Amino acid sequence: MHNDIEKILITEDEIAAKCAELGEQLTKEYDGKFPLAVGVLKGAMPFMSDVLRHIHTHLEMDFMDVSSYGGKMRSSGEVKIVKDLDTKVEGRDLLIVEDIIDSGLTLSYLVDLFKYRKANSIKIVTMLDKPSGRTSYIKADMIGFEVPNEFVVGYGLDYEERYRNLPYIGVLKPEIYGGEET
Ligand code: XMP
Ligand code: MG
């Protein structure tokens, strides 16, 4: 375990098993279709890479980078497009791939945007769900794991751009983030 981590919440093996399970469900869901998987950068990158390798239909991938975080750990309340999709959304079956749903702000913005762009269907798969943080109404179609109201890092999730490369999901020692509440 990394020195800055207080405890591991979800192990590498648990993540791998969950990605296979979600991939199997998504294979059924999109059987005979050609969905557009939209990864939300940067956090969703490891999860997207793992889960998509378990989807056995044709699919297309694209990425979006949005920021809703003004500060280090708290939402600024504003969503800004940093990088837009290269692919046309109209008429497509979209699968949004996210790392975590906390306030729900990022995803409700994206869902509205893709509805406006006339997607044929929109589904959300998220690795983590933190339902206690919700301020915007949003519900994922598929969830890997539910997490408590703690700031989590690893497997894509960062604190000040670090820890994204950890193979598990854990909680930082409070001294690392100066005890700031999440
Ligand atoms: P919202 O609040 O819009 O949040 O649902 C979505 C984005 O906020 C980030 N986020 C976190 N990042 N640990 C992190 O490293 C967390 O506990 C956490 N909670 C929210 C994340 O980028 C997510 O896509
Ligand atoms: Mg994110």
Alpha-carbon distance of 154 to 131, in angstroms, equals 19
> Whole-prediction pTM value?
0.93
Cβ < 6 A, ligand 1 pocket: 40, 43, 68-69, 75, 98-106, 151-153, 157-158
- For ligand 1, atom 4, name the residue with the nearest CA: 102
What are 5's strand-pairing partners? 172
Alpha-carbon distance of 35 to 85, in angstroms, equals 14
Q: For ligand 1, pick from 102, 108, 124, 146 the residue to mutate: most ligand atoms within 8 Å of CB.
A: 102
What domains does the chain contain, in order, with CATH numbers?
5-68+84-176 (3.40.50.2020)
**Which two structure tokens, joined as six digits, stand for 142?**
């598929």
Instruction: Give 85-129 pLDDT, tens digit per residue.
Output: 999 999 999 999 999 999 999 999 999 999 999 999 999 999 999
Instruction: Give 119-167 pLDDT, tens digit per residue.
Output: 999 999 999 999 998 888 899 999 999 999 999 999 999 999 999 999 9
Give catalytic status of residue 102 as yes or no. yes
